[in-house]
Amino acid sequence: MEVTGSPVLRDVVLIGGGHSHVGVLHMFAMKPLPGVRLTVICTDTDTPYSGMLPGYIAGHYSFDDVHIDLRRLAEFAGARYYRDEVIGIDRATRKVLCRNRPPVAYDALSINIGSTPQLAGVAGAGEHVVPVKPIRRFNEHWLALLARVCNHPGATTIAIVGAGAGGVEMTLAMQYRLRNELLARGRNPDELRFHLFSAAPQILTTHNPRVRQAFERVLAERGVVVHRAAEVVQVAAGRLQTQAGEVLEADEIVWVTQAGGAAWLRETGLALDDKGFIRVRTTLQSETDPLIFAAGDCAAMIDHPLEKAGVFAVRMGKPLTENLRRTILRQPLLDYRPQQRWLALISTGDRHAIASRGAFYARGDLVWRWKDWIDRRFMRKFTELAPLAMGNDQPGAAIPLDEREQTQAISAVAMRCGGCGAKVGATVLSRALADVHPLERDDVLIGLHAPDDAAVVRVPPGKAIVQTVDFFRAFIDDPWLFGRIAANHALGDIFAMGAEAQSATAIVTVPPGLESKVEDTVFQMMAGAVSVLSAAGCALVGGHTGEGRELALGFAINGLIDETLADVMQKGGMRPGDVLILTKPIGTGTLFAAHARLRAAGRWIDAALESMQVSNRAAVPCLTAHGATACTDLTGFGLLGHLVEMTRASGVDAELELSALPLLDGALDTVAAGILSSLQPANVRLRRALRDPEAFFDHPRYPLLFDPQTAGGLLASVPAESFDACLAELRGLGYPQAVRVGRILAQGEALEPIRLIG
C-alpha cells in the first residue's frame, strides 16, 4: 500500500465501474488532486466494454480482451476498490450503503451503474428469460448455452427479444459462433433457429433507412426470422407469446430490451424519470442533490434526452471528472453538451460491420477493422498500465477547508513529517467505536462495555490460557477488509493450538488526518476485525490506537484450553507414516507483491482475499477428531519454514510433493514472472533444510515453498488410516482445496529433514 505525505481531506466515491468511471479513474491517475481519495465500489472486478461484447460472443475476442480489470485500474489510479453491491444511499449522513460491508462515507458521489432489465411488466419473464444485463450473469448463461448446444445434438431455437442495435448484433454474433461450433464438430448448423422480436413495426428504429435495410437483408440471408410489431407480453418455460397472440416455442429466450433504472435508486429520494433513471442537469449533477452525479445509461439528461449507448457513457467521463474536481474545489461547474449525431459501428457477426451516423451509411470488412482498431485503442488505455511515480505530496492547499479542518490538516502534515507516535484523541476514538459492537461473554468481567485501565477476564476452572500476538501493516487500501484479515490471521495461532478464542486486545496505528477521516478509518477497520472476532466467539476487550505513517493493526489474543493439555495440538508430535494435509491454497506473498506492481489480475486478488478470510476454526475439531498428531498455521515463514519447525520439534523427516501443493489462482504466473514478496529472501535461507534442492530450482512451484502467507491455512499431520475420512470432512466444512501434500518419514541419516518430489 502506497503512503503519501498528504492527508486525505475529501472522499470522492464512485458507484459502479461503468464506461464513465473507468475514464474518471484514468484521468485522476494522470492528474491527481492532492488530498482527494477516490473509492470505487463495484459488483464486478472485470467490467465489460460493451462495444466489444458482440465480438466476444462471436468468438473474435477473449474474455480479457473485452473486460477492464477494475481492481488493477484502481490500484494504478491510487484509488480504493471495494468489490460489493451498492444497495442505497443515506444522503442525510452522506454514506453509501453496501450489501456486505459498513456504509462508505463520501464528500462527492457519482453513480455509473448502467441500466437494469425491467422484467416485472412481462408475466413469467423474471423466471424464464436470460437478460443481457448484468453482463457477468449473461456470460455465465452464454457459456452454458454454448456447452449445451455443442454437446447435445438436436434442434435448438433461440429467441432474442429486442431489435435495437444490441439485439440485432447479439443475434448475429450468437448465430455466427454457434454455427461455427457445430460445423467444427461436423454437425449441421441448420439445427439452429433464430427468431428476433421487435415491438416496433421495424428493426433498428433509431437508425437511418439504409442501415435498416442492410440489416434486414443480412438477417434474411442468415435465415433469422424477424417478428415485427410483435411485443412479447408473456413468457413461460420454453415459450413466449406476443401481444397479437403469436406463440413461439424456444429453448432460450434472450432479453435485450426494456431497461430501466436500478430499483434501489427509488429509495434514494433523487429525482428519477419515468423509467427510473436519475434526472441530471447539464453538469451531470442530480437535479435533487448537487453532491451526487450520474453518468452513462443510469443518467437521464433533463435537457438532452440521449439514447442509451456506451459511446455517451464514455464521453461523459471527461466532464464528470472535471466537475467532481470542481465540486471539491468549490469552483463553478462546466456544462456537458452531448453531440447531436454519433457514430455507431454495428457488426454483423462475421468480422463485417455497418456504420451509421445520422443519414450516413457504409459497410464492409474495412468498417469492422476500423471498429476493431477504435475498440482496441480504447481498451489499451485501461489495460496497458505501468506504475506511476509517487503522487504529489503537497498538503492539498487548493481544497477549501473550514477553520477547524485547516488546523487538523496542518497538524496532520506536521505529525507525518515528525514521525507521529501520538495517541488518537479520545473523542475520535469513542465516536469511531460507538458503532462497533464486540461480542459479550460472561467471562469478560471488565471489557469495552465498561472500559477501564485494563480488561479483566475470568479463566474458567480447569482451563489454561493460550496467548499469542500478531501485528502487521495494511497490504490493501481497504480498512474493513484489512481488519477482517488481520483478525483472522491473529486467531490462526489460537486455533492451530486446538484452543478456543476468548478475548482480544487491539493495537492500531492510523495515519493522522482530518478527525472525520481518522474516525472513519478506525471504525471501518475495527468493524471488520470485530465481525471476524465475534464469529470466532472472541470478545474484543480493549486496545490502543496511535498515529503512525502507515495503517497497521495487531492483536494480542487469549485462548482457553483444557489445563491437562489433552487437546493441545503442537508442532511436535508428527509420526512416521502420518500424512501431511494443507487446508488452504498458498501464494498470498507473491500475489500481493504483483498487485502492487500492477502485474496481478484483479480476480486473482479477489480470490486471495476471499481465501484469507476463511477461518481455520472449523478445521481444528475435524483434525482433532481424526487423530491429528501435529498442527500449525501457515504465516510469514512460508510452507517450508513452518514444516521445518514441525519436523525439528517432532524428530522426523518429511516428504513434500510439489505438484500436490494447492495454489491460489495466478500464483504460478506471478512467480514465473519473478515477482516475489520482500520477505522471500529471508525465507529462502531455509533451503538448506532441503535434500538436493538444486534438482528443483527450475521447478515452477519451487519458489512457492518460501512464499510468506497472510492468514494461511493449517498444516497438519494425520495418521494414514484416517486421512481419507479427514480430507472428505474438511472439504465438506468449507476447505475445498484441502489436500494431501506429503508424508512423514522416520528421521534418516541425511542432515536435511525435507525431501522434495516433483
- Whole-angstrom Cα distance, residue 408 to residue 477? 22
| Strand, helix or coil for residue 123 | strand
- Whole-angstrom Cα distance, residue 532 to residue 544? 19
Closer to ligand FAD at the Cβ: 54 or 492?
Answer: 54
- Whole-angstrom Cα distance, residue 448 to residue 57? 56
Which of these ranges, 35-43, 147-155, 192-200, 508-516, lies near ligand FAD under the rule CB under 6 A? Answer: 35-43
> What minimum distance in Å lies between the beta carbon of 80 and ligand FAD?
14
- Whole-angstrom Cα distance, residue 217 to residue 222? 9
**Cell of residue 547, nine digits:** 498515529
Residues sharing a CB contact under 8 Å with residue 117, sequence separation 6 or more, in sequence order: 131, 132, 133, 255, 258, 259
Neighbouring C-alpha atoms within 13 Å toward the C-beta of 352: 10
> What minimum distance in Å lies between the beta carbon of 541 and ligand FAD?
36
> What minimum distance in Å lies between the beta carbon of 310 and ligand FAD?
3
Q: Which of 11, 75, 252, 297 binds ligand FAD (CB under 6 A)?
A: 297
> What minimum distance in Å lies between the beta carbon of 602 and ligand FAD?
12
Which DSSP string corresponds to 226-276?
Answer: EETT--EEEEETTEEEETT--EEE-SEEEE---EE--GGGGGTT--B-TTS
For cell 494447492, name the residue. Answer: 662
670 phi and psi angles, rounded to 5 deg: -75, -35
- Whole-angstrom Cα distance, residue 38 to residue 418? 26
Residues in the chain, overall count:
758
Q: Is 43 in the site for ligand FAD (CB under 6 A)?
A: yes
Residues sharing a CB contact under 8 Å with residue 151, sequence separation 6 or more, in sequence order: none
Site for ligand FAD in 113-142 (CB under 6 A): 113-114, 132, 134
| Strand, helix or coil for residue 9 | coil
Q: Is 261 in the site for ligand FAD (CB under 6 A)?
A: no
**Cell of residue 594, nine digits:** 504483483
Residues 73-112, one symbol each (x = binds ligand FAD by CB under 6 A, - = not), give: ------------xx-------------------------x
Q: Is 54 in the site for ligand FAD (CB under 6 A)?
A: yes
Which of these ranges, 45-53, 426-434, 621-629, 637-645, lies near ligand FAD under the rule CB under 6 A? Answer: 45-53
> What minimum distance in Å lies between the beta carbon of 309 and ligand FAD?
4
* 3-state SS record for 548-562: CCCCEEEEEEEEEEE
DSSP, res 296? G
Q: Is 161 in the site for ligand FAD (CB under 6 A)?
A: no
Q: Which of 169, 500, 633, 653 binds ligand FAD (CB under 6 A)?
A: 169
Which of these ranges, 12-20, 281-289, 491-499, 717-725, lies near ligand FAD under the rule CB under 6 A? Answer: 12-20
Q: Is 313 in the site for ligand FAD (CB under 6 A)?
A: yes
Give the binding-site size for ligand FAD (rule: CB under 6 A): 35
> What minimum distance in Å lies between the beta carbon of 343 and ligand FAD?
9
Q: Is 311 in the site for ligand FAD (CB under 6 A)?
A: yes
> What minimum distance in Å lies between the beta carbon of 378 and ligand FAD?
11
Q: Which of 77, 129, 170, 466 binds ligand FAD (CB under 6 A)?
A: 170
Q: Choose among 758, 739, 754: nearest CA to 663.
A: 739
CB atoms within 10 A of CB 684: 17
> What minimum distance in Å lies between the beta carbon of 264 and ligand FAD?
7
Q: Which of 7, 16, 55, 131 binds ligand FAD (CB under 6 A)?
A: 16
Closer to ligand FAD at the Cβ: 346 or 536?
Answer: 346
Residues paired with residue 255 on neighbouring β-strands, in sequence order = 131, 161
Q: Which of 35, 36, 39, 44 binds ligand FAD (CB under 6 A)?
A: 44
Can you point out the beta strands (E) in 121-214? 130-131, 156-161, 192-197
Q: Which of 33, 53, 182, 501 binds ligand FAD (CB under 6 A)?
A: 53
> What minimum distance in Å lies between the beta carbon of 115 and ligand FAD?
7
State which H helix or E strand residue 470 sits in: strand 463-473
> What minimum distance in Å lies between the beta carbon of 85 and ligand FAD?
5
- Whole-angstrom Cα distance, residue 143 to residue 588? 30
Q: Which of 7, 55, 310, 636 binds ligand FAD (CB under 6 A)?
A: 310
Closer to ligand FAD at the Cβ: 64 or 405?
Answer: 64
> What minimum distance in Å lies between the beta carbon of 308 and ligand FAD?
5
292 phi and psi angles, rounded to 5 deg: -115, 125
Residues that bind ligand FAD (CB under 6 A): 15-20, 41-44, 47, 50-51, 53-54, 85-86, 112-114, 132, 134, 166, 169-170, 256, 262, 296-298, 308-311, 313
